[in-house]
């Protein structure tokens, strides 16, 4: 099909609410890994070519047409580019692709339009890439257990976004909406510095110690983290009595039986907590409340109700959350995982954290603008008081905007 004198290859369906940000924000969703030694450019290019065989959509050019995301045939080919800064997506430097790969010294960064891949999807593409690269680097066979390696799939096999999902066979539930901004705590000290796009810092949490707490309270890692973050806010502001509104990333893939999709198939669901919920009761009662709310929100009936409402009215915005918690699970590629020394994720948002488990550590990236260090200190302190070792590994720094030219 020819649209605007361009060859359309695939219609991805109605575009996400992320599309405006993808076109206008100075940074995009990105995942980066620090490896044991400097990157071999030739081996990385070979790994990238193999990754594109698994995800051919990488070579297509995304654009919007009549409020749908259309993928067009691109000119040339996407290649890894050596650059200290992440490069501007959908621009000449990235061959107008919506996904790009850069490397610098021992670090590899994969960035994407959020409309093309969500946190889970980008994580999966990156696992495939590093599986190929580390195999080449260490002269070992690729790991086929739990890592997508099937080549030449059609886009509709792995690009299924929640805007095209049709909820069926479910009991409608009352969907929780975000509170009015006047009813919830909003830390006015959190602002982005004028000279940078996003401020990022990192903490490292003992996975073994957090596992003990999770097992004791039958809670997920992001639920314990949310409790710690809520307690940290009320400790920093002891006179604050307004409620806290969190946005907790919730994956829809299992509910709709689309496990292989890289497209946005998840949303941040609201978790509203009061002072009494966190400080006015014991820890077990507080965590039980969080766990019960999240258990309900993760049921098939609730997720289908949420998707039905959002796809009908698009009213479930995240702007009134004091913190978005994005936990994309464990990053694992078999024995090759030990070759990865650090892994982090970031995007254009403020008041966000990204959690990824890497072997015996949880790697957590904070995006709290000018208050990033303050919040990392506060949350780490609460976790340590719970018996979970947590320490700041990277103090707050300016991530900076994507660039139109490589910087080395």
- Asked if 342 and 182 touch (Cβ cutoff 8 Å), the reply is no
What is the DSSP code string of 284-349?
HHHHHHHHHHHHHHTSHHHHHHHHHHHHHH-----TT-SEEEEEEEE--BTBGGGGEEEEEEE-S-
Backbone angles phi, psi at 107, to 5 degrees: -115, 135
* Common-topology check for domains 2-161 and 163-398: yes
User: Given this model, what pLDDT does residue 318 score?
Assistant: 55
Residue in this structure with the two tokens 């707490």, named with its chain if needed: 213
Contact status, residue 357 vs residue 221, Cβ threshold 8 Å: yes
Residue 234 bridge partners (DSSP): none
What is residue 311's predicted lDDT score, i.e. its pLDDT?
81
Instruction: Tell me yes or no: is domain 2-161 CATH 3.30.559.10.
Output: yes
Domain ranges of the chain: 2-161, 163-398
Identify the pLDDT of residue 315. 55
> If we measure between CA atoms, which residue out of 14, 99, 26 comes closest to residue 61?
99
Residue 1's Cβ-side half-sphere holds a number of Cα atoms within 13 Å equal to: 9
User: Could you give the CA distance from residue 298 to residue 254 in angstroms, rounded to a whole number?
Assistant: 10
Q: What pLDDT does residue 310 have?
A: 85
- In which residue ranges of the chain is pLDDT below 70? 193-196, 314-320
CATH 3.20.20.70 fits 163-398, yes or no: no
């Amino acid at each position: 099909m020819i649209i605007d004198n361009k060859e359309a290859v695939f219609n991805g369906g109605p575009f996400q609410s992320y599309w405006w940000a993808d076109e206008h924000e100075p940074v995009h969703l990105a995942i980066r890994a620090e490896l044991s030694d400097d990157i071999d450019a030739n081996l990385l290019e070979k790994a990238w070519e193999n990754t594109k065989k698994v995800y051919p959509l990488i070579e297509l050019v995304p654009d919007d047409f009549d409020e749908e995301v259309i993928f067009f045939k691109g000119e040339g080919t996407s290649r890894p580019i050596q650059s200290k800064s992440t490069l501007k997506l959908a621009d000449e430097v990235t061959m107008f692709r919506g996904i790009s790969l850069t490397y610098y010294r021992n670090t590899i960064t994969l960035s994407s339009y959020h409309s093309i891949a969500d946190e889970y999807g980008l994580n999966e593409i990156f696992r495939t890439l590093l599986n190929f690269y580390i195999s080449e680097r260490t002269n070992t066979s690729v790991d086929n257990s739990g890592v997508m390696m099937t080549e030449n799939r059609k886009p509709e096999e792995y690009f299924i976004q929640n805007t095209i999902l049709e909820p069926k066979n479910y009991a409608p539930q009352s969907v929780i909406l975000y509170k009015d901004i006047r009813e919830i705590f909003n830390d006015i000290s959190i602002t982005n510095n004028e000279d940078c796009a996003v401020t990022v810092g990192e903490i490292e949490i003992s996975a073994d110690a957090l596992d003990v707490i999770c097992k004791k309270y039958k809670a997920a890692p992001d639920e314990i983290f949310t409790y710690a973050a809520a307690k940290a806010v009320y400790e920093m502001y002891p006179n604050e009595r307004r409620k806290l509104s969190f946005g907790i990333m919730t994956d829809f893939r299992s509910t709709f039986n689309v496990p292989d999709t890289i497209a946005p198939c998840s949303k941040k669901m609201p978790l509203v907590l009061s002072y009494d919920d966190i400080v006015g009761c014991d820890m077990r009662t507080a965590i039980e409340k969080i766990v019960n709310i999240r258990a309900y929100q993760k049921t098939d009936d609730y997720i289908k109700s949420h998707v039905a409402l959002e796809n009908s009215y698009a009213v479930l915005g995240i702007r009134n959350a004091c913190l978005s918690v994005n936990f994309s699970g464990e990053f694992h590629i078999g024995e090759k995982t030990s070759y990865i020394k650090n892994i982090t994720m970031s995007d254009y948002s403020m008041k966000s954290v990204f959690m990824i488990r890497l072997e015996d550590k949880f790697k957590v990236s904070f995006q709290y603008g000018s208050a990033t260090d303050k919040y990392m200190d506060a949350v780490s302190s609460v976790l340590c008081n719970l018996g979970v070792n947590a320490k700041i590994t990277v103090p707050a720094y300016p991530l900076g905007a994507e660039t139109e030219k490589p910087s080395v």
